[in-house]
Amino acid sequence: MSKAQRAEIDAMLRRPQPEGPRSVEELRAGFRALMARMAVPDTIRTGWTTLGDRPALRVDPEDGPRAGTILYFHGGGFVFGSPETALSLTGNLVARTGFGALSVDYRLAPEHPFPAAIDDTLAAYRALLDSGEDPSTIVFAGDSAGGGLTVTTCLAARDAGLPLPAAVLAFSPGLDATRTGESTVTKEGIDPIFTRAALEHTGGMYLAGADPHQPLLSPAVLADLTGFPPMLIQVGANELLLDDSTRLAVRARSAGVDVALDVTADVPHVFQAFAGVLDEADEALERAALFLTQRLRAARPAHPPVE
């Protein structure tokens, strides 16, 4: 691990911000500017398509994808972000696995509060299934709010009677709209990105008055994860949202789910986006790529069935 790399990123993320809550437009512009600084592999190609009536960014290896699809849900607190802002993450997963990815441009709050995002991600998954893709060749992946969507979309799919994907990969997922995790207090000031007030500001836009005490908003404390596919949850130890991940992992284990909780010390929220400048980011992405490759390989028979 590189203390110098971590310290430099921490200092960059702590640069002074305007006082008080920022407008939606300011939040969106600031996030675009931050994520535009992240490195995107030059061995991928991109193009727009439609999935479940929403735009989706197709990300493929330059030499064509292998069998398997990463259905990706971007981060941004359900208020900002897009497939373009997540391209460093989707691009690195594609480059490291050889799978193609579809990154869904789901609707955002406050214009489209809960449950619009889940409706869109579920529709995207249903569209993949309707196109003939086998669920055993699909994995859900996402970061932050999108990491939460990997879980809630699985819940919604199960409730709708749909088969579940082969695996779930969540980077720093947001999984508790009740904000009852101990880390939301103990990591205040240690987390260089979030404050509790900032989480409540964007969270309130997404809730729009909805009761947070329901599985689709707070799966870390309320969801029944029975029947879920294997999960890999990666999170930084400096995050206010750390306990969202740790508590979901406990629930998954209690439900008999194959779950791996991967906690990296002294790194910020969605640290994987700093690939190329933070050793821990590259190492975490390698572990994530191995997980996806193993899960998709395991989901497909090694040989055709004997007639």
Considering 218, 239, 245, 280, which one is annotated as catalytic? 239
Active site residue 182: no
Considering 144, 172, 183, 245, which one is annotated as catalytic? 144
Cβ-contact 279, 151 below 8 angstroms? no
Cβ-contact 279, 1 below 8 angstroms? yes
Cβ-contact 262, 233 below 8 angstroms? yes
Active site residue 201: no
Cα–Cα dist 298/146, whole Å: 25
To 10 degrees, the CA torsion angle through 253, 241, 278, 79? 120
For residue 272, what are its two tokens?
A: 């994987």
Active site residue 239: yes
Long-range (24+ apart) CB contacts under 8 A made by 118-122 are: 118/149, 118/152, 118/153, 118/156, 118/216, 120/52, 120/54, 121/71, 121/73, 121/149, 121/153, 122/52, 122/153, 122/156, 122/157, 122/160
Closest CA to 208 of 123, 298, 119, 111: 111
Catalogue the active-site residues: 144, 239, 269
